Structures are given as C-alpha cells and as structure tokens.
Chain A
C-alpha cells in the first residue's frame, strides 16, 4: 500500500471515529480542551504506528486504547486537579435546556472514573462487558458490577427510584 493510500485509509477511519474518540476522551478528562489535546496526541501516535497495525478491523479498539493511554499520560504529566462540578456546564459546550439532560450530565460528570469509564465504553462505544474488561484489564464480573453501580449512582443522584429488576446490558 502506498503512502497516499495509507493516509487515505487512516483519514477515513479517524474521520468516522473522531466523535466517539473525542467523547470518550471528554468523559475521561471532563475537560473539552484536554480531550481535544488527548485525541490529537493519540491520533498522532496512531498515525506513526499505523503501518504496524495488521488488522484494521480492530482499529477502533486500538485507537480507544491509545486514547486511554494518552489520557493517563496527560493526567500523570499534568497532575490534574479535581474538576469542579460547578464548571461542568461550561465544559458541556453551553447551557442545556432540558433539565433531565442537564441533570444526567452533571450526574455522570460527578461519577468516579472507575464507574464513568466502563459506562461510557458500554453506552457510547457499544462495547460488551468482556471487551471493556479486556481494555481495562479487569474481569467481566467486575465490569458488570461497576456498570450496575454506575447506573444506581446516577439514579440516586438524579432522585430516580432504583430499579432493582433491571438487568445490566452485557
């Protein structure tokens, strides 16, 4: 494959995945500027290693793992301070008219990272528990527990009756 073809292939893939990668990075960092930086750096690293990726069907997971590592590196490097919940609306790119939507976003932003990340991977990325477990280097059971607790905490934060009958999607 020529350089131009490789570039086009990378372009097409990252163009399609960029929104998801940005959202993932945003919910990890809870900071739009930082999320953009993380995605940018991650794509830079990805492009450098693109020729080494044999299975392009696995590119999405590969890119997510790069974003995840880049976020961790950035976090470690900057020793980021705890995000102030009061600043969340600004981070969410302007006010939201729907009070439920606003409340849900605030609740998600208030979740601990250990709950927030698997939730984002499941809901946004469509990952199954096993895939999340592989990415986060934990067991599927632990992922399911976190997903259940994440939803329970969101319901609690929003004042919604818990639904004990509900099964966590796998």
Chain B
C-alpha cells in the first residue's frame, strides 16, 4: 500500500476480520487523511480487463455462463421436443420410411383396437377424397379412418380387421419405393410396397396376418386422383 504513514501499520489491527468483535477492543487512532486514503483505496477494487469478458467497449449482449447454459439447454430441449413432435405427428420425415410408418402407427392407437362399430362408407369416402384417393371393389371391415400427416403429406390411414387383428393401411401416393420393404419392428409385421400406378402402400398387422392378401386387394382397389 502506498501513501499511508508507516504508523498506520503499527496500529492495532488484530481481529479486524470480524467487525462485530471490535467493540471490546482498545480503540486506535487514525487521522482523517489516513482514513480517507484507506477508504479510497478500499473502494478501488480490481476491475476486470475489458478483454477478459467484454471485448468490445460498445456492448454486445453477453449472457452469463449460467444464463447461456440454461438458454442453450432450453433451446436444445425445445428443438428436440419440436422435432420429435413434428416427426411423431408426421410433419417431417426421419429418412427411414419404415421407422416413420411404425412411429405413426404407434401414435394412433385408435387404429390398433377392434371397435364394435365399423366406419361408415360415407366417412371412408370422405377421407379418401380428401387424400386424393378413390377406392373401388374393396371388401373389408374398416374400423378406423383418418387423414393424417405423414412425412410432410396428408395421407389416408385406415385400419381393417384382419384374421389376426387390426391391420393398418396407409396410402402413400408420393412415396416411391423400388420394391417391397419388410416392416418388422415393435411387434408389427408388414410391408411397404410400390404400386403399379405409382406411389406405395404400407400394410402393417399382427404377426401371422396374411399381409400379402390384403396388399393385393388394396392395390387392386386404389386409384390416385390427379
């Protein structure tokens, strides 16, 4: 420390770590000048170098480490949730059509149960029309039908009752596959098969289901509307 007299150092400073303990100690002397100098010196704490944390003098918004970490974690979480939701709900594709089909089926459990009532012909036709599909000569008990987002498209998704349980059918006019792709995930069994008219269909049911038969019947009945 500079500037203060040496006798300042000789003053009784023992115990000054705890100011609350000073009342019983002998008081010491300090001149006004010494006191003011010490006060000024005490107030001039070290200042962080601008380069350490504040490179530009004109400020740029700088989140603290914790704030940044929380923000980053929040963004990652939010993006993850959004992507997951978009994928689950079919607005984006994962790149693997089998994964997308299985995820979509799992997301619509109503298609996997066997309700007492069948879907009316009127409702079935309405969904088909909305999906740009017409179907003829199709004999099956349809228990579920929805217009669903799938890989960025709105497609027809219906369920019919097969010999082993519910069978999911998805009509995919804009999904091209080179040949049948087997689906064997999460206990589902089926295929994604190309159609001669373009596009493809996904047929997924329980193990033991005659997928080929249903595939043939759907393929014969479906027509894309242009």
- Give chain A's interface residues, CB within 8 Å of chain B: 7, 10-11, 14-15, 18-19, 22-23, 26-27, 32-33, 36-37, 40, 43-44, 47, 92-94, 98-108, 110, 119-120, 123-124, 151, 154-161, 163, 166
- Residues of A near B41 (CB, < 8 A) are 101, 104
- Residues of A near B4 (CB, < 8 A) are 100
- B64–A157 touching, CB < 8 Å: no
- A160–B30 touching, CB < 8 Å: yes
Whether A123 touches B43, Cβ cut-off 8 Å, given contacts A33-B64, A103-B19, A106-B17, is: yes
- B58–A47 touching, CB < 8 Å: yes
Partner of A157, one of B19, B58, B60: B19
Complex-state Cα separation, A161 to B38, whole angstroms: 15
- A158–B17 touching, CB < 8 Å: no
Within B166-194, the residues touching A (CB, 8 Å) are none
- B28–A161 touching, CB < 8 Å: yes
- A37–B19 touching, CB < 8 Å: no
- Residues of A near B43 (CB, < 8 A) are 23, 27, 108, 119-120, 123-124
Which stretch of B6-14, B98-106, B118-126, B155-163 is in the interface? B6-14
Partner of A22, one of B19, B20, B48, B60: B48
Q: A15-B50, A100-B4, A157-B19 provided; 20 other pairs, C-beta below 8 A?
A: A18-B47, A22-B47, A23-B43, A23-B44, A23-B45, A27-B43, A43-B59, A44-B59, A92-B45, A93-B45, A99-B13, A100-B16, A104-B41, A104-B42, A106-B19, A151-B39, A154-B35, A154-B39, A159-B25, A166-B32
Complex-state Cα separation, A148 to B86, whole angstroms: 66
- A123–B40 touching, CB < 8 Å: yes
Q: How many A-B residue pairs have CB under 8 A?
A: 125
Q: Interface residue count for B (Cβ, 8 Å)?
A: 44
**Cβ-based interface call for B137 (8 A):** no
Complex-state Cα separation, A34 to B152, whole angstroms: 47
B104 to chain A, nearest CB (A): 44
- Residues of B near A161 (CB, < 8 A) are 27-30
Complex-state Cα separation, A157 to B21, whole angstroms: 8
- B1–A98 touching, CB < 8 Å: yes
B7 to chain A, nearest CB (A): 11
- Residues of B near A44 (CB, < 8 A) are 59-61
Complex-state Cα separation, A98 to B2, whole angstroms: 11
- A110–B19 touching, CB < 8 Å: yes
- Residues of A near B59 (CB, < 8 A) are 40, 43-44, 47
Partner of B22, one of A94, A98, A102, A158: A158
